[in-house]
């Protein structure tokens, strides 16, 4: 734990500046929102009842979070599609958004190429690459990301343009005041979680210490379902360690029966419940009872409450906390959080087999 208060840990391990990327999330969100608010879209795009976001990995997480935040809306239905083939039901009242940070994600390019042959509305969010070329060749609007980072560290450009698009198309969504309040909250919270904040009062450092050497299992529900997904993927990619996520109330119908075996599980697992008071009251009761069941099996766990008074603040406060936790776990694992050599190898091998 003391090591996380030693500044030399970060200079020696974080060679690519992931800590600076996490610190910069509030500023990134503001820049992305301001730019996306000026995006011009055809008026016909407001006549959609479905939004399909094509994306993988860090490029798709913004769509996941959008889906949770827009669930109460009467329309549109938001879906995130992680695969090669476009869903057959895509029609002229569907907006297909190809989201790829690099613009070269093969699954996203495949789905978007199929979308070009349909009468659906289309949009691209990317830094460039083949996806952007396809969009411009076919007169499809492009939101250009102007931020240099690994895709998972560009969440502001993954989520905020989507929120702005929902607003510009006339759907109820985040207003400028909501976004500004969220950004201010992140600035305040981030200061208490960054590297120079001492471990004894730094929630992110304390959580990383508890997860160190264990398999993290993240529980979420409602608007926090895909925040739990984000924690899982950030721990995988930044910390380079096993992590899983599950969703309430579904896990109460199966996962709770698996707490006892195999023997020794309690020594290797740590469960985190991501929680906010905006969740369904019956689900909050399930949080409590599920924790009691974990106690019976001797499995350590902890409740992590969100900060803020609206859904956007609830979501983004926990996202930022999870990013910091994954960063400190990387430090405890004595590894640079930025490189992803296994993913690079997969892409290389797939290119060779094309």
Virtual torsion, Cα 206, 155, 175, 171, nearest 10 deg: -130
Residue with tokens 């740590």: 270
**Same domain, residue pair 206 and 305:** yes
Phi/psi-derived region of residue 160, left when phi > 0, alpha when psi is between -120 and 50, beta in every other case: alpha
- Digitized pLDDT (tens) for each residue of the chain, 354 residues in all: 459 999 999 999 999 999 999 999 999 999 999 999 999 999 999 999 999 999 999 999 999 999 999 988 888 999 999 999 999 999 999 999 999 999 999 999 999 999 999 999 999 999 999 999 999 999 999 999 989 999 999 999 999 999 999 988 888 667 889 999 999 999 999 999 999 999 999 999 999 999 999 999 999 999 999 999 999 999 999 999 999 999 999 999 999 999 999 999 999 999 999 999 999 999 999 999 999 999 999 999 999 999 978 999 999 999 999 999 999 999 999 999 999 999 999 989 988 987
- What's the pLDDT score for residue 168? 86
Global confidence as pTM:
0.95
Question: Does 158 map to a domain?
Answer: yes
Question: Does 346 map to a domain?
Answer: no
**Same domain, residue pair 77 and 209:** no
**Same domain, residue pair 223 and 151:** no
**Is 237 an active-site residue?**
yes
Structure tokens at 98: 């190809």
Residue 333: half-sphere exposure toward Cβ, Cα within 13 Å = 25
**Same domain, residue pair 162 and 60:** yes
Range of the domain at 159: 18-174
Which of 139, 174, 209 is the last residue before a domain boundary?
Answer: 174
Name the active-site residue from 237, 240, 246, 314.
237
- Which of 222, 213, 286 is closest to 255 using CA atoms? 286
**Total number of domains constituting the chain:** 2
Structure tokens at 260: 């006892």
- Which of 143, 146, 196 is closest to 19 using CA atoms? 196
Question: Does 233 map to a domain?
Answer: yes
Name the active-site residue from 137, 146, 253, 352.
253
**Same domain, residue pair 163 and 280:** no
- What's the pLDDT score for residue 108? 97
Q: Which residues does 285 contact at the CB level (< 8 Å), separation at least 6? A: none
**Same domain, residue pair 314 and 224:** yes
Q: What are the strands, taking DSSP E only, across the chain? A: 50-54, 77-81, 94-100, 121-126, 142-144, 215-221, 243-248, 269-275, 301-305
Question: Does 144 map to a domain?
Answer: yes
**Same domain, residue pair 93 and 72:** yes
**Same domain, residue pair 219 and 255:** yes
**Same domain, residue pair 164 and 288:** no
CB 103 within 8 A of CB 75: no
- What's the pLDDT score for residue 353? 87
**Same domain, residue pair 25 and 59:** yes
**Is 253 an active-site residue?**
yes
Q: Which residues does 165 contact at the CB level (< 8 Å), separation at least 6? A: 36, 39, 41, 97, 123
**Same domain, residue pair 67 and 133:** yes
Q: Which residues does 62 contact at the CB level (< 8 Å), separation at least 6? A: 53, 55, 99, 155, 157, 158, 159, 160, 161, 162
CB 61 within 8 A of CB 17: no
Q: Which residues does 7 contact at the CB level (< 8 Å), separation at least 6? A: 195, 196
Which of 115, 148, 174 is the last residue before a domain boundary?
Answer: 174
**Is 347 an active-site residue?**
yes
- What's the pLDDT score for residue 1? 46
- What's the pLDDT score for residue 74? 82
Question: Does 268 map to a domain?
Answer: yes
Question: Does 179 map to a domain?
Answer: no
- Residue-wise DSSP of 213-245: TSEEEEEEEGGGHHHHHHHHHHIIIII-S-EEE
- What's the pLDDT score for residue 105? 96
Task: Give, in order, the Cα–Cα distances in Å from 305 to each of 85, 119, 127, 132.
Answer: 38, 44, 34, 39
Calpha distance 272→274 (Å, rounded):
6
Structure tokens at 180: 């500004």
Question: Does 350 map to a domain?
Answer: no
Question: Does 83 map to a domain?
Answer: yes
CATH number of the structural domain spanning residue 229: 3.40.50.10490
CB 327 within 8 A of CB 256: no
Calpha distance 11→337 (Å, rounded):
12
Calpha distance 122→94 (Å, rounded):
8
**Same domain, residue pair 263 and 136:** no
- Which of 226, 90, 81 is closest to 159 using CA atoms? 226
């Amino acid at each position: 734990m003391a090591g996380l208060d030693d500044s030399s840990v970060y200079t020696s391990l974080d060679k690519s500046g992931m800590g600076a990327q996490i610190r910069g999330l509030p500023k990134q969100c503001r820049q992305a929102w301001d730019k996306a608010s000026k995006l011009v879209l055809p008026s016909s795009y407001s006549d959609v009842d479905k939004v399909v976001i094509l994306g993988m990995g860090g490029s798709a997480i913004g769509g996941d979070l959008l889906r949770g935040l827009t669930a109460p809306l009467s329309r549109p239905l938001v879906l995130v599609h992680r695969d090669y083939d476009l869903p057959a039901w895509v029609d002229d009242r569907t907006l297909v958004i190809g989201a790829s940070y690099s613009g070269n994600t093969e699954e996203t390019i495949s789905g978007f190429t199929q979308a070009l042959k349909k009468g659906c509305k289309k949009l691209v969010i990317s830094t460039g690459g083949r996806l952007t070329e396809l969009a411009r060749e076919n007169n499809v609007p492009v939101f250009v990301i102007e931020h240099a980072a690994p895709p998972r560290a560009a969440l502001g450009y993954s989520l905020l343009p989507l929120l702005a698009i929902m607003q510009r198309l006339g759907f109820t969504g985040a207003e400028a005041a909501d976004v500004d309040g969220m950004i201010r909250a992140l600035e305040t919270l981030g200061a208490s979680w960054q590297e120079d904040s001492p471990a004894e009062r730094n929630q992110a450092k304390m959580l990383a210490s508890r997860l160190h050497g264990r398999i993290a299992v993240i529980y979420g529900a409602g608007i926090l379902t895909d925040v739990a997904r984000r924690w899982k993927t950030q721990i995988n990619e930044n910390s380079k360690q096993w992590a899983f996520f599950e969703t309430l109330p579904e896990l109460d119908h199966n996962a709770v029966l698996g707490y006892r075996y195999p023997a020794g599980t309690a020594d290797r697992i740590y469960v985190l419940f991501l929680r906010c008071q905006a969740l369904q009251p019956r689900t909050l009761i399930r949080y409590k009872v599920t924790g009691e069941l974990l106690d019976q099996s001797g499995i350590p766990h902890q409740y992590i409450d969100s900060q803020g008074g609206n859904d956007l603040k609830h979501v983004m406060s926990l996202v930022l906390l999870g990013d910091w936790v994954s960063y400190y776990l990387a430090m405890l694992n004595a590894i640079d959080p930025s490189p992803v050599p296994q993913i690079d190898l997969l892409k290389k091998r797939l290119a060779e087999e094309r």
